[in-house]
Amino acid sequence: MLRISAIAALAMGLSVAFAQDIVAPNTNLKADGIPAISKAIADKVALYTDFRGNGFVQWHPKEPTMLVRHREAGANIPQIYVLRKPGGALEKITDFSEIVSQVAYEPRQGKYLVISKDTGGNEATQVYRMSLDGKETTLLSKSDERSGFSWNHKGDRILISAVPLDKTATGGKRDNVITQLTLVDPVHPESKQTLADLPGGGWGNFKFAHNDATIAAIQYRTPNDSDVFLINAKTGQRKKVLPAKGAPAAGFSGFEWSKDNRRLFLTTNQGGEFSELAYYDTKTGKLTVLSRHIPWDIENFSLSEDGKRLLAIVNANGQDEAHLFDVATGKELPRPALPAGAIGGGEWNASAKSQFAYSLNSPQSPGDVYSLDVATGKTQRWTTAWAPAGIDLNSFASPELVQIKSFDGLPISAWLFLPDAKKFPGKRPVLVSFHGGPEGQSTVRFMGRTNYYLNEMGIAVLLPNVRGSSGYGKRFLDLDNGFNRKDSVKDGGAFLSWVGSHPSLDAERIAVTGGSYGGYMSLATAVDYSPLIRGSIDIVGISNFVTFLNNTESYRRDLRRVEYGDEREPKMREFHEKIAPLNNAAAIQKPLFVVQGKNDPRVPYTEAEQMVAAVRKNGVAVWYLLADNEGHGFRRKANADYEFYATVKFLETTLLP
């Protein structure tokens, strides 16, 4: 555990000058086996650790102003601000030590806010009423549960959905999980009504009809298997409406109600490979698809305030597009001319009904807020992201699409970022970075700190989308399930082998990294392909699916069993134990860096600790960084900065010699 002060340095026979020349981890970090990080590294990377973008949150219900998420200079986490006009000053309204995960105005007059936040990344999210100046908060939910909220249209009730958090990694467990729905008046929180106890986890997307009589909800199991329910907002009685009786399992997501409450707009992959925009007719029970002509996933959509238009965001092979639909006819209208980039959020303005606001980032921008006037086609920029002096964002690389065939002939793809060939001639070392999920996707967006590897270290970055990734159809999504788990690792191996065929890449200098499921991919790659790599980085990754499924939170366990397989079944348990990186740790012969949050309820820290102990038996270098105020990844800048310093040191040690 690295904690070096000037006095401690002298006690160890080190000079005060040396002690002053290193960066010690802060008091929330345990750095075990990590060499001293010189201040020179921190100074070199400083320009790449302080990008400050902006994210759209919500329009005010009565005024042409909005809420924006932003991290100010010197701050550890982002806060919520009011922005009253394009280019205006950001007016800070929250000042918490924890990140606000959800925030929404009281929907009629905007008199106050309802927010949610957890503690130290533990995901025990609690719901609060908050005054507009952020100075007064009132707890509306239970402290030992993971809670979210949805407003009704009248603005006098929120629906709180809550599941238990049992701290299973430290002995808690619950065999029968329920999701409890409670109606709460935020002004009079003592006025609560338990609406329903729903069986199991996976419930979400709660959306009130405009008359507040019905609540649409989804029970999710996998992206290809979910159910749509209509819940009576007075009695709590529920009715499953999709998939229809006799119809195959399908994925459903996202809700918008038509103004007459008859049509429920949603996305579904029931009729094809991709997630399509559709609507369910509550009178006829018919499901009608609107976007069959678009051969990609509809990621999200939003209904205009007048109910006449739908704006949908399409994930076209990892790049976002906006599509506009006429609600009355169901026909697509001319496409809006939005700037190129990854489109996030999105909401129509109640006070200017043709105005749609959204966030946008790109490889050259950490994120800004824009609005589109659909009537005029005019786009307006509301914020300007901040980058340190000396950084030219326009010089940041855009990726090229890589398409190869895997071991079994399956087409797979990746995004490749290359360093400037003039600055870094010759074949370049490669960092292969696996996304999480596993139902995630590497897409074209801002790369943040990763640009340091490209611009200052000359390291190429490859972002594979192995089988099991979203965005390529529901068949592709399920190809890694259960007993097929190692096929995704073989896809990763196919990319390692491909590196040598690229004229700009050095197949002798490859490292792998990944977070969450990507952490498992990194560990599994280190086991199966150790001769092909120089080192691996595991961030909050799974080291054994049996111990993971036993220790992940109770409300998540059955959902994850659908993807990974049920470890209670003898053959599946035997398979899990056979493929576990933990049980094959002797094969890891290259340096390993493990990063973990102590409060992680998804992949508990025990997954990291057991892997560190096992690999150290091999006599190879193992670096371990544990944060006691983080969960599933590092959200605080101070922690993320030290993690980055150590990662740069690790890559310098493994890839650059």
pLDDT tens, residue by residue, 504-517:
999 999 999 999 99
Asked if 573 and 601 touch (Cβ cutoff 8 Å), the reply is no
Alpha-carbon gap, residue 39 to 41, rounded angstroms: 5
Which pLDDT score is estimated for 11?
47
Question: Per residue in 11-45, pLDDT tens?
Answer: 444 455 456 789 999 999 999 999 999 999 999 99
Strand partners, 597: 627
- Supply the pTM of this predicted model: 0.92
* DSSP-derived secondary structure letter, 36: P
Alpha-carbon gap, residue 70 to 53, rounded angstroms: 6
Nearest Cα neighbor of 611 from 496, 528, 522, 530 is 522
Which pLDDT score is estimated for 340?
86
SS3 588: coil
What is the H or E stretch that residue 175 is in?
Answer: none
* Tokens found for residue 287: 């499901």
Nearest Cα neighbor of 34 from 630, 655, 612 is 612
Asked if 54 and 359 touch (Cβ cutoff 8 Å), the reply is yes
Contacts of 43 (CB under 8 A, 6+ apart): none
* DSSP-derived secondary structure letter, 437: T
Which pLDDT score is estimated for 14?
47
Strand order across the beta sheet in which 342-348 lies: 342-348, 355-362, 365-373, 378-381
* Tokens found for residue 460: 């190429």
Contacts of 175 (CB under 8 A, 6+ apart): 554
Which pLDDT score is estimated for 167?
63
All residue ranges of the chain with pLDDT < 50 are 1-14, 17
* DSSP-derived secondary structure letter, 454: H
Helices (H), 362-507: 450-455, 474-478, 485-499
Question: Per residue in 419-456, pLDDT tens?
Answer: 999 999 999 999 999 999 999 999 999 999 999 999 99
Contacts of 352 (CB under 8 A, 6+ apart): 64, 373
Find the radius of gyration of the CA atoms of the chain: 25
Phi, psi (deg, nearest 5) at residue 418 = -110, 140
